[in-house]
């Protein structure tokens, strides 16, 4: 007997969670493993945000709220889009959910019919294709390699669109590559999309504030205002305010789409927990210095990792432009022999070798749709990153020609 519905059969568990579990299993055997698999800021949530949740609960904000978010939080989200992105949205065009992930799930649940396609430029966030499959859709994953800066080109977009295309997903800065799109890049994609009026655009901007080398962020909504009625901008407090466990994401989009997503949410989870919404409100309306402090730390670590990888023969890493990952090319290691006599044939082998020989956990590029690469999270203390790079360097140095 199977307990599992057929729609779940093609869906894989999260690869970064799997990497973290493998690290934990080795740790349970007493091995000192450095886990660079999961990506979440290592800073504590700022105190004023924690206090706001506490005070809200003490005030009695412990009941159900409106499904799409409290009026105060939706207003704060609308104000954020106006202040930071120059975008005008009214409260009925805003939805608050349990993380950006639930926003994306609601959007797909509300719109996908069986067999509809979603264009997911690879490398992509691991959850995108799995959510699309879970909801009856078909992921279309054009490979955007290092040669295009891991960015989707207008030509690749045009080639990926069919009459069944329902969504294009963009993610900037990107997980896992850190790639960022500039105004001209987005306008060029917008020109292609203008020719295909059936395509909705989901712009996942959750890493908006983690941007390096003084770059200014350009929202898809800013670059392509003419596509406003088919654009959903996804964001949240998780990455900018070190709040991954609080589970608050939000989106802005056309009212009929937001209304449909709201229906999905009200029938599945009702709302985000009231004290968590109060915390998100404090994050968006309170002092913003923490955002700059976090960004400065991530920039320092990005620099440290880029320099460290450059010193390891066989590995490549163009400097990530944002987010807190390094998507490291490992083509130079393929075909080499490990001290145990095994030959490294792909990035999954490389990741297993780095875990078993170097005691550093990472995620293979195969999980993100572009090989041979592996992803490490740089959201960890500088000293840990230095140690991890030294271990990776030693493991690589122990490889021999086959």
Ligand X SMILES: Cc1ncc(COP(=O)(O)O)c(C=O)c1O
Residues in touch with ligand X (CB under 6 A): 39, 99-101, 125, 171, 175, 204, 206, 236, 238, 244, 249
CB-CB contact of 275 with 77 (8 Å): no
CA distance 300 to 55: 35
Nearest in space to 288 (alpha carbons), one of 49, 39, 42, 41 = 49
Smallest separation, CB 186 to ligand X (Å): 17
β-pairing verdict for 363-364 and 373-377: antiparallel
CB of 322 to ligand X, least distance (A): 11
Distance CA 262, CA 96 (A): 9
Q: How far is the CB of 134 from ligand X (least distance, A)?
A: 16
Q: Is 170 helix (H, G, I), strand (E, B) or coil?
A: strand
- Cβ proximity to ligand X: between 125 and 220 the closer is 125
The residue (of 101 and 230) whose beta carbon lies closer to ligand X is 101
3-state SS, residue 336: strand
Whichever of 103 and 192 has its CB closer to ligand X, that residue is 103
Nearer to ligand X, 376 or 395 (CB): 376
Q: Can you tell me whether residue 225 is helix, strand or coil?
A: helix
For ligand X, the closer of residues 89 and 124 by Cβ is 124
Closest separation between CB of residue 175 and ligand X, Å? 4
Rounded to a whole number of angstroms, the minimum distance from the CB of residue 368 to ligand X is: 11
DSSP letters spanning 21-33: HHHHHHHHTT---
* Distance in Å, CB of 162 to ligand X, minimum: 24
Instruction: Kindly tell me which of 244 and 316 has the beta carbon lying closer to ligand X.
Output: 244
Element (H, E) at 55: helix 47-58
d(CA 380, CA 43): 9
């Amino acid at each position: 007997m199977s307990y599992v519905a057929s729609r779940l059969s093609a869906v894989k568990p999260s690869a970064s969670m799997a990497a973290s579990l493998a690290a934990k299993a080795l740790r349970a055997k007493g091995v000192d493993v450095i886990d660079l698999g999961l990506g979440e800021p290592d800073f504590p949530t700022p105190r004023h945000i924690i206090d706001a949740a506490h005070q809200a609960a003490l005030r009695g904000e412990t009941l159900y709220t409106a499904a799409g978010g409290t009026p105060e939080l939706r207003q704060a989200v609308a104000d954020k889009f106006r202040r930071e992105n120059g975008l005008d949205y009214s409260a009925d065009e805003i939805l608050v959910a349990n993380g950006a992930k639930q926003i994306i799930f609601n959007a797909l649940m509300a719109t996908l019919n069986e067999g509809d396609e979603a264009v997911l430029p690879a490398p992509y966030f691991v959850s995108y294709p799995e959510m699309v499959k879970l909801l009856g859709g078909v992921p279309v994953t054009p490979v955007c390699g290092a040669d295009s800066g891991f960015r989707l080109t207008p030509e690749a977009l045009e080639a990926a669109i069919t009459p069944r295309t329902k969504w294009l997903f963009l993610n900037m800065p990107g997980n896992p590559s850190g790639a960022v799109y500039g105004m001209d890049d987005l306008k060029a994609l917008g020109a292609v999309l203008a020719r295909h009026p059936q395509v909705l655009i989901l712009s996942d901007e959750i890493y908006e504030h983690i941007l390096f080398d003084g770059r200014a962020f350009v929202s898809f909504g800013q670059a392509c205002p003419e596509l406003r009625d088919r654009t959903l901008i996804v964001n949240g407090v998780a990455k900018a305010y070190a709040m991954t466990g609080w589970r608050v994401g939000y989106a802005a989009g056309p009212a009929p789409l937001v209304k449909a997503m709201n229906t999905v949410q009200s029938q599945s989870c009702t709302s985000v927990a009231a004290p968590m919404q109060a915390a998100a409100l404090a994050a968006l309306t309170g002092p913003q210095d923490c955002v700059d402090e976090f960004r400065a730390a991530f920039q320092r670590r990005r620099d440290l990792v880029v320099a460290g990888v450059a010193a390891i023969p066989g590995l490549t890493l163009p400097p990530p432009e944002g987010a807190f990952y390094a998507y490291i090319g490992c083509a130079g290691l393929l075909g080499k022999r490990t001290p145990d006599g095994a030959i490294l044939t792909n990035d999954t082998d490389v990741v297993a070798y780095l875990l078993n020989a170097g005691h550093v956990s990472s995620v293979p590029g195969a999980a993100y749709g572009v090989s041979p690469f592996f992803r490490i999270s740089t959201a960890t203390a500088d000293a840990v990153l230095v140690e991890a790079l030294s271990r990776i360097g030693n493991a690589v140095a122990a490889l021999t020609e086959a």
